[in-house]
Amino acid sequence: MSLSVDPMVLKLARKKLEEFLEEDAWVGDITSQVLDISGKQEAVIYAKSEGVLAGTTFVKEIFKMLDPESYVIERLREGEEFSRGEELLVVVSEVKALLTGERLSLNLLQRLSGIAHFTRRFVKILEGTKIQLLDTRKTTPGFRLFEKYAVRVGGGRNHRIGLFDGIIIKDNHIKAAGGIRKAVEMARMKANPLLKIEVETTNLEEVEEAVESGADMIMLDNMSKDQMVKAIEIIRKYDKNIKIEASGNINEEKLKEIRDLDLDFVSSGAIIHSSPWCDLSKELRVVPAAPEF
């Protein structure tokens, strides 16, 4: 799938990219500065492993910051799968900008393409079912918007972006509030009525309490398949409109095991925190001089 970056996300991403560049080239790229090099060149970014391309827009932004006249030629579109040896992008820019932005651009592409590729594998397991794959908040601090973007490129959906855009009453909230029923009641009284309330459950007793408390969505956390079957039966019998999410140690094997259940969502932190980086490389090549007439 191809996916464009939301303008607001891009605005936030630019601030982050500036920070990343400052981190890597705080007072400049000393090596490039001491070399007597100049002029436009192009750099080819190619794959040394398979993956799903994610992060092209951010690469463009990096080189625009370093050289406003730079541009990127896309050999593949965002979200397309690639194989070892394929050219992905060609960046045309001042040679010093190419060298300064090399590691940051590769790090971003390798990390995001790895997440998109791993997510795509999970999504393919769920093909033919109604279950939608969600990510979690188990992300790298400061890098969340990039990682969650990569999940969407891979075909998954974002759960909450942060603590500010959804209500999930988890185990420690339940303990602090004095039980599921009390927690849901307090949330109903104070929360925006347009927001859904999700409750995390770990056993059938908690499932029954969450259902009776009027939860809009129930998370089945770290349950066995047999437990999930019973929990789903309880929930569907009570109210077919309640959404059901399975979560907790969701890997490819677990996903294959539960894909036939009557679930609405499956959330997995692994698609971000356990995704391997794609192996990419960048190679400079001199732009041929214009012919003389």
**Cα dihedral 137/141/147/148 (nearest 10):** 40
Give me the half-sphere count of Cα atoms (radius 13 Å) on the Cβ side of residue 192: 7
Clarify whether residues 260 and 233 are in a common domain: yes
Clarify whether residues 269 and 125 are in a common domain: yes
CATH number of 86's domain: 3.90.1170.20
- Tell me the pLDDT band of 100, cut-offs 50, 70 and 90: very high
Other CB atoms within 10 Å distance of the CB of residue 252: 14
Clarify whether residues 238 and 136 are in a common domain: yes
- Set 16, 40, 60, 138: catalytic member: 138
pLDDT at position 287, please?
59
Write the single-letter amino acid at 78: E
Q: Is the separation of the CB atoms in 272 and 151 below 8 Å?
A: yes
Check whether 292 has a pLDDT greater than 90: no
pLDDT at position 50, please?
98
Q: What is the mean pLDDT of residues 113-122?
A: 98
Find where tokens 């394929």 sit: 86
CA distances to 23, 24, 68, 140, 262 from 27, rounded to whole Å, are: 9, 9, 19, 26, 56
Percent of the chain with pLDDT over 70: 96
Clarify whether residues 111 and 127 are in a common domain: no
Q: Is residue 217 part of a domain?
A: yes
Of the candidates 148, 120, 123, the one whose C-alpha atom is nearest the C-alpha of residue 52 is: 120
Burial label, 132 (beta-carbon count in 10 A; 0-12, 13-18, 19+): middle
pLDDT at position 5, please?
81
Check whether 290 has a pLDDT greater than 50: no
Residue 34's domain spans which residues?
7-120+276-286
Q: Is residue 1 part of a domain?
A: no
Q: Is residue 56 part of a domain?
A: yes
pTM of the predicted model, to two decimals?
0.93
Q: What is the mean pLDDT of residues 31-37?
A: 91
Q: Is residue 37 part of a domain?
A: yes
Clarify whether residues 64 and 95 are in a common domain: yes
Q: Is residue 291 part of a domain?
A: no
Q: What is the mean pLDDT of residues 62-67?
A: 97
Tell me the three-class secondary structure of the chain, residue by residue. Answer: CCCCCCHHHHHHHHHHHHHHHHHHCCCCCHHHHHCCCCCEEEEEEEECCCEECCCHHHHHHHHHHHCCCCEEEECCCCCCEECCCCEEEEEEEEHHHHHHCHHHHHHHHHHHHHHHHHHHHHHHHCCCCCCEEECCCCCCCCCHHHHHHHHHHCCCECCCCCCCCCEEECHHHHHHHCCHHHHHHHHHHHCCCCCCEEEEECCHHHHHHHHHHCCCEEEEECCCHHHHHHHHHHHHHHCCCCEEEEECCCCHHHHHHHCCCCCCEEECCHHHHCCCCCCEEEEEEECCCCCCC
Pairwise CA distance, residues 72 & 63, whole Å: 9
Task: Tell me the β-bridge partners of 218.
Answer: 199, 244
pLDDT at position 288, please?
52
Annotated active-site residue 16? The verdict is no
Clarify whether residues 265 and 164 are in a common domain: yes
pLDDT at position 58, please?
97
Clarify whether residues 116 and 173 are in a common domain: no
Clarify whether residues 187 and 49 are in a common domain: no
pLDDT at position 285, please?
79
**Cα dihedral 280/284/290/292 (nearest 10):** -150
pLDDT tens digits, 192-249: 999 999 999 999 999 999 999 999 999 999 999 999 999 999 999 999 999 999 999 9
CATH number of 158's domain: 3.20.20.70
Q: Is the separation of the CB atoms in 158 and 134 below 8 Å?
A: yes
Q: What is the mean pLDDT of residues 75-79?
A: 97
- Tell me the pLDDT band of 27, cut-offs 50, 70 and 90: confident
Tokens, residue 240: 């077919």
Percent of the chain with pLDDT over 90: 91
Counting the structural domains of the chain, the total is: 2
Clarify whether residues 115 and 174 are in a common domain: no
Clarify whether residues 204 and 64 are in a common domain: no
Tokens, residue 102: 């090399």
End-to-end CA distance of the chain: 45
Q: Is the separation of the CB atoms in 107 and 144 below 8 Å?
A: no
Find where tokens 């109604």 sit: 130
pLDDT tens digits, 154-167: 999 999 999 999 99
Q: Is residue 60 part of a domain?
A: yes
Clarify whether residues 40 and 133 are in a common domain: no
Clarify whether residues 73 and 151 are in a common domain: no
pLDDT at position 293, please?
45
